[in-house]
Amino acid sequence: MRIDAMMPILIVAAALWSPLTVIGLIPFVVWKVGGGMFQQQSFRLLHPKVWTPALIVGLGVAAYLGLDSSRIPKGLALAHDSAAEVMMDLIKQAQFFLLEAGLIGLAILAMRWSGEIALALLILALLPFVYLGPGNDLVMRASIPSLAVLTIGACLALAERSVGAGMLRKKAVLGGLLAVGAVTPMAEFARAAMLPVWPINMRASLIGANCGAFAPHYVARLGDEPIAHFLRHPTSFPLGSQGPDECDNPAFDETWGGKLQVKQLR
């Protein structure tokens, strides 16, 4: 069986593993599958035997992922009362897009045109206009496929065999942008190599570490939904102390060895 025919069920399986990442992946799947169908003038992928299994499994996955979703913060990032606030947000969004992906994406397109790169830039430009989750988990997770496409595109552009003066200048610009962007990952590598390993927190539950609050994008309350009747009955366990003085992560003190060591590291 061709991989295109397996795409629907693969998407459903990936949604159960990382649902927000799949949201950012679907446009590329539609681009690839739709483009292939148009070029080959073949509509075999629309046959029920291809999408019916994924639809059946997908309904169950969607019902599970949608449990208690009404409590998850979500909405439009530009929901303001005044035009001035909306304009300021648009400027901030444009700045964020250009610094995080736009300049690198435009540098890649200047060297070699790619529909996938253009689609990735479009997705990354539109994602920040909506939010889902207290930390805008949608943008954080759904951007992963587009960022991966930009990474591949940058590697292919730098590996281009053309050695003309114009192409060399474009490669230098792209390489410089990547070097500036590499500061953050290099800092993460240095942190992992130089600082102690972050210990596992065995003394706090997810609820306790969150000061007694239930993270709605990780924890769902079971109600009368049909899917709830097919799930195993949840097991109760003691949450321990949940006051404001109990939600400090004990792993922080174990890692840094108290305030004295933090002062020395500074």
Residue 13 pLDDT grade (very low, low, confident, very high; cuts 50, 70, 90): confident
Who's near 61: CB < 8 A, 6+ residues apart? 12, 15, 16
Higher local confidence (pLDDT), 81 or 123: 123
Distance between the two ends of the chain, CA-based, in angstroms? 58
| Structure confidence at residue 235 (pLDDT) | 77
User: pLDDT digit string (tens) for 168-208?
Assistant: 899 999 999 999 999 988 998 998 888 877 766 666 667 77
Reply yes or no on whether the pLDDT at 217 is more than 60.
Answer: yes
User: pLDDT digit string (tens) for 14-60?
Assistant: 888 888 899 999 999 888 877 777 777 777 777 788 888 888 988 88
* Joined tokens for residue 65: 């992922």
d(CA 108, CA 150): 8
Mean pLDDT of 231-252: 65
